[in-house]
Structure 1
Amino acid sequence: MSSAPGAPRRPPARRPPPPPPPGLAARVLAVDGLEKVLRQGCALEEAAEGFDPALEPRDRALAFRIMATAVRRLGTLRLVLGKLLERGLPKSAPRLEPVLLVGATQLLFMEVPDHAAVGLSVDLARADRSTAGFAALANAVLRRLAREKEALLAGIDPLAADTPDWLRARWTAAYGAEVARAICAINAVEPPLDVTVKSDPERWAQALSGEVLPTGSVRILQAGPVRALPGFAEGEWWVQDAAAALPARLLGDVAGLRVADLCAAPGGKTAQLANAGARVTAVDRSGARIGRLKDNLARLKLAADVVVQDVLQFRPEPFDAVLLDAPCSATGTLRRHPDIALTKRPADVAALAELQGRLIAHAADLVRPGGLLVYSTCSLEPEEGEAQAQRLLAARPDFVRAPLAPGEIAGIDPFITPQGELRTLPSGWARGEPERSGLDGFFATRLRRLP
């Protein structure tokens, strides 16, 4: 029945837009995050903090995995895409590079069907005004990559492409060419998730489908969202690389002792010490990071005195023991934090070594006569590790090494140096598949103040 003459016409009902393809939300997050990392110099974790908390945890986890893999293999990815873009990337669409990186990462390094990796990346290009005009280019480039993966990767040495030259040169000088190459190789592999448990690691390894490492940490493969794992909400464990869990153990039995944890945030070592019965004072200059430390302690139902202060200005009564995990270049954590390869430079090592020298000298003053000082860094650079210990011992005749003895701590004998110090390398702990192997690169020394 037609409407009466002159009556206003009703506009046709608008159809709701079709729902986005499954998995697109995660790829959008990955592109946004990569833009922040590559264009703004953000750390991966900082970029991930901007993820919409309303999105599914699996989408956020997938986005972070794509981002981390893209950054970890950035050199190889750029070389491959360079072969496919005869005229280079269009300057008018800088967002096209992260779109292509997200697609290429899935095609080359993740178990994602080729059609999904290509199709979702083309959808990403079409959805953004700056890249919509290059959707056909993205489609052509990624389809060709899917067809010619092996040929395009041929001739690219990933160990050279994905590690800055200055780091490979440093590691070669410090550890030899073979070890340096092994470090670069393991850094190219996604790391497992290690956790420190309050008690009963065998039980939690079974509950988390993991395995107990020789040092007592629990290693988990295929972890998924951390907060959804059994025992997290109940405060039964915390995330901590197996190597990062070792420096606190160098203090031995700390039950009832006054212990200072300097540069303490985000609190893994504080939690270890508190769980072992120490009366811990945790000091860090960053209020935001101290907030995370307090949140972690509350979840774990552990207690510590928390001080927001520059460590160099912290002057309390001397402690029975002091743990200083000093700020460093963190080159030993490149596998877990691949953005370090983009943000650190050789000059950073020298600047940080100068700061570490001041921190360890101040930390020494906070140890009572007869007490212990443990100094550690997650750096592979000798200037930030062995050299700092040597410098302090030369300047302070009232301190001596308290060397680690074989068998003193289960599982660490391969990491004890001839001087009795601890030096882990990312390529250590070959445990079958690369995904199950390795740990962060750490240095730690134990020093005793003479009575």
Structure 2
Amino acid sequence: MPSDPPHSERSRPRKSHSGSSRHDSGQRGAGDRRPPRPLVNPDPARFAAVCLVSHVVDQRWTLEEAMRKEQAFVRLDGRDRGFAAHLTLATLRALGLVDAVLATKLAKPLPDSAHFAKALLRVGAAQLIEGLAPPHAAVGRSVDLAKFEATGRGFAGLINAVLRRIATEPLVRPHDRERVPALWWNRWRTAYGGEAADAIAESLSRQPALDLTTKGDAAAIAEAVGGTVLPTGSIRLKETPSDVTTLPLWGEGNYWVQDAAAALPARLLATKPGEKVLDMCAAPGGKTMQLAATGADVTALDLDAGRINRVAENLARTSLTARLQVADARTVDAEPYFDAILLDAPCSATGTLRRNPEALWIKTPSDVARFAAMQIELVKAAAGALKPGGRLVYAVCSLEPEEADPAVAAALEAGLKLAPILAEEVPGLGQAVTEQGLLRILPYYWADQGGLDGFFIARFVKLL
């Protein structure tokens, strides 16, 4: 999933790059007295960020998909690539806030067809509102890009005027709850209360930290990479590198990137050497590596062959082994033969809103219902593939009760019994343990340490 690399603002002149295929040739008729438009992209990094934001908001692409397909981003490297990714994520995390401010500066909304201009205005405003760049750079580069892109030229004056107003006039900053669509905030208020819903929204104001899971001595590796060991055993870096592969010991395969909350499901499964273990939805492989590192006999299953290839690459780098299988986990062999199963199920991913903020804008509650139905099927398949006495950990990186409660009910109906999670198993997260022994992590927990992803985790045992 995308995360923010470190960045530094550059307002100095930039080297020339070719622009997007969407800009015009610069040819003009004899009577056209307008000054010629530049033939080179004045700011490739900001241009790429605008294109990515447009793909997400207007075409409902995931950010991962946009970063893979948009050539303006693919062509970048080094600091430009890192700055473009950071600017895109920061804009999406502040999107609701940005739109609320823009609504007070615009006499009327831009036309629906003005995709590039709207995205450019959002990225420019985000830089000013969130303090991501000096005002002269945020305004000037935005205007330059409007003049460069054929579909933005007619809006250059408007973009200049609006951004200058944001930069110079007193800013009445909206409440942080404006960062998220009202339909999601209202759902969280119903589930957790208004104060918690506000805290979830406010968590979007902070760049997520980079966490590592290690198969070795966490304290030694933390010292080597410049991190600290969290109470649950993950390593949190003090500074996020632009390229994680440049960190010490990366090439030796001693650790991998994994949010501290995402590392908990495998830890709570507590596998032992020699146990037959199934990772039902394995990609990209963080949990598979955790399980394999315990000495268990691991089968990693995923529906997507390309994603299984990523698991294979991660296993190879860390010198860990697992059987890899491409299949629909809902049709896993019903013959009970696994000692333990980890089911980190596909979900709405609203718990990862800091890392994947686009989910709040491209998904709706109808998606939650669709995922919930799939999760019930997966739980039933997992229950059928467990040995009597076997263990199942069910997890989703979702904040939605519909992706938690029905799955628990399905597990109980399938002959499983809750194996309560104890507070001492999740040091520092005692507040996340419910009376039933379920784990409900909210993104604002550990705020003083940088927060963590939202997760729901339940553990079961199959009756003998």
Same-fold status (TM-score > 0.5): yes
State the structure with more CA Rg: 1
Please give the alpha-carbon distance, in whole angstroms, between the structure 2 residues aligned to 1:214 and 1:140: 49
Pairwise mapping of residues 117-128 of structure 1 onto structure 2 (< 5 A)? 117-128=138-149
Contact 2:179 2:204 in 1 (8 A): no
The residue number in structure 1 matching 2:307 is 289
- In the alignment, which of 165, 170, 174 is matched to residue 144 of structure 1? 165
Cα displacement (A) at 1:442 = 0.8
Contact 1:95 1:130 in 2 (8 A): yes
Contact 2:283 2:311 in 1 (8 A): yes
Identical amino acids, percent of aligned pairs? 46
410-419 or 324-333, larger mean C-alpha shift: 410-419
Please give the alpha-carbon distance, in whole angstroms, between the structure 1 residues aligned to 2:172 and 2:258: 34
Q: Deviations over 1:285-334 (max 9, x none)?
A: 11121122222222222111010000112216510101111111111111
Matching residue's letter, 2:236:
R
**1:184 and 2:205 aligned:** no
The residue number in structure 2 matching 1:195 is 212
- In the alignment, which of 45, 55, 68 is matched to residue 89 of structure 2? 68
Cα displacement (A) at 1:437 = 2.5
In structure 2, the CA distance between the partners of 1:90 and 1:415, relative to structure 1 (3 Å rule), is closer
In structure 2, the CA distance between the partners of 1:87 and 1:163, relative to structure 1 (3 Å rule), is closer
Please give the alpha-carbon distance, in whole angstroms, between the structure 2 residues aligned to 1:129 and 1:19: 13
Cα displacement (A) at 1:90 = 4.6
The residue number in structure 2 matching 1:132 is 153
Contact 1:190 1:335 in 2 (8 A): yes
The residue number in structure 1 matching 2:129 is 108
Please give the alpha-carbon distance, in whole angstroms, between the structure 2 residues aligned to 1:92 and 1:383: 36
Matching residue's letter, 2:447:
A
With normalisation by structure 1, the TM-score equals: 0.88
The residue number in structure 2 matching 1:421 is 438
Matching residue's letter, 1:380:
L
Please give the alpha-carbon distance, in whole angstroms, between the structure 2 residues aligned to 1:221 and 1:41: 33
Q: Deviations over 1:379-434 (max 9, x none)?
A: 111221133213321x23x4221112332344443322111121111111132xxx
The residue number in structure 1 matching 2:106 is 85
Contact 2:298 2:322 in 1 (8 A): yes
Matching residue's letter, 2:68:
E
The number of aligned residues is 423
Please give the alpha-carbon distance, in whole angstroms, between the structure 2 residues aligned to 1:123 and 1:233: 42
In structure 2, the CA distance between the partners of 1:104 and 1:266, relative to structure 1 (3 Å rule), is same
Please give the alpha-carbon distance, in whole angstroms, between the structure 2 residues aligned to 1:175 and 1:100: 34
Please give the alpha-carbon distance, in whole angstroms, between the structure 1 residues aligned to 2:225 and 2:132: 23
In structure 2, the CA distance between the partners of 1:371 and 1:57, relative to structure 1 (3 Å rule), is same
Cα displacement (A) at 1:86 = 1.6
Pairwise mapping of residues 290-439 of structure 1 onto structure 2 (< 5 A)? 290-315=308-333, 318-393=337-412, 395-396=413-414, 398-431=415-448, 436-439=449-452
With normalisation by structure 2, the TM-score equals: 0.86
Cα displacement (A) at 1:18 = 9.5
Name stretches of at least 5 consecutive residues in structure 1 with no aligned partner. 1-16
Cα displacement (A) at 1:54 = 4.9
Please give the alpha-carbon distance, in whole angstroms, between the structure 2 residues aligned to 1:290 and 1:326: 15
- In the alignment, which of 237, 247, 250 is matched to residue 265 of structure 2? 247
Poorly superposed stretches of 4+, deviation over 4 Å: 17-21, 51-54
Name stretches of at least 5 consecutive residues in structure 2 with no aligned partner. 1-37
Contact 1:92 1:130 in 2 (8 A): no
The residue number in structure 1 matching 2:25 is none
Cα displacement (A) at 1:268 = 1.0
Contact 1:318 1:365 in 2 (8 A): no
Q: Deviations over 1:149-207 (max 9, x none)?
A: xx3334x2231x22222222221222122212211111332211112122222223233
Please give the alpha-carbon distance, in whole angstroms, between the structure 1 residues aligned to 2:289 and 2:172: 45
Q: CA RMSD in A?
A: 2.0
The residue number in structure 2 matching 1:59 is 80
Secondary structure, in 3 states, of the residue corresponding to 2:343? Answer: strand
Please give the alpha-carbon distance, in whole angstroms, between the structure 2 residues aligned to 1:412 and 1:77: 33
Matching residue's letter, 1:279:
D
The residue number in structure 2 matching 1:47 is 66
Matching residue's letter, 2:342:
L
